[in-house]
Amino acid sequence: MKLILENMRKSFGKKEVLKNVNFEFEEGKIYGLLGRNGAGKTTLFNCINEDLALDDGGFWLQENEEKLKVKSEDVGYVQSVPYVPKFLTGREFLKFFIDINKDRVKNLKTEDEYFDIINIEKEDRDKLINDYSLGMKNKMQMIVNIMFDSKILLLDEPLTSLDVVASEEMKDILKKIKENHIIILSTHIMDLAVDLCDEIVLLNNGVMENVDRNNLDDSNFKVKIINALKEEN
Any domain includes 135:
no
Sort strands 56-63 and 66-68 into parallel, antiparallel or unpaired.
Answer: antiparallel
Residue 159 within any structural domain of the chain: yes
Residue 38 lies in a domain: yes
Q: Considering only CA atoms, which of 227, 223, 155 is closest in space to residue 192?
A: 155
Q: What is the pLDDT of residues 132-181, one digit of tens each?
A: 988 888 888 888 887 888 899 999 887 766 677 777 888 888 888 898 89
- Domain of 204, CATH number, reads 3.40.50.300
128, pLDDT greater than 90: yes
Phi and psi at residue 151, in whole multiples of 5°?
Answer: -65, -35
Contacts of 8 (CB under 8 A, 6+ apart): 18, 20, 21, 22, 44, 47, 54, 56, 57, 58, 59
The domain in which residue 161 lies consists of 2-85+150-230
SS3 string, 36-74, reads CCCCCHHHHHHHHCCCCCCCEEEEEEEECCEEECCCHHH
Mean pLDDT of the chain: 86
Q: Is residue 59 part of a domain?
A: yes
pLDDT given at position 160: 66
Q: Is residue 14 part of a domain?
A: yes
Residue 222 lies in a domain: yes
Work out the average pLDDT over 36-49.
91
Render pLDDT for 74-111 as a digit per residue (tens, 0 to 9): 998 888 777 788 899 999 999 988 888 878 777 788 89
CB atoms within 10 A of CB 48: 22
pTM: 0.85
When pLDDT is cut at 50, 70 and 90, the band that residue 233 belongs to is very low
Q: Residues 19, 24, 25, 28: what is their CA dihedral angle, to the nearest 10 degrees?
A: -170
pLDDT for position 232: 47
Taking residues 212-228, report their average pLDDT. 69
What is the total count of domains within the chain?
Answer: 1
Q: Summarize pLDDT for 183-199 with one digit per residue, the tens.
A: 999 988 788 888 889 99
109, part of any domain = no
Domain assignment present for residue 113? The answer is no
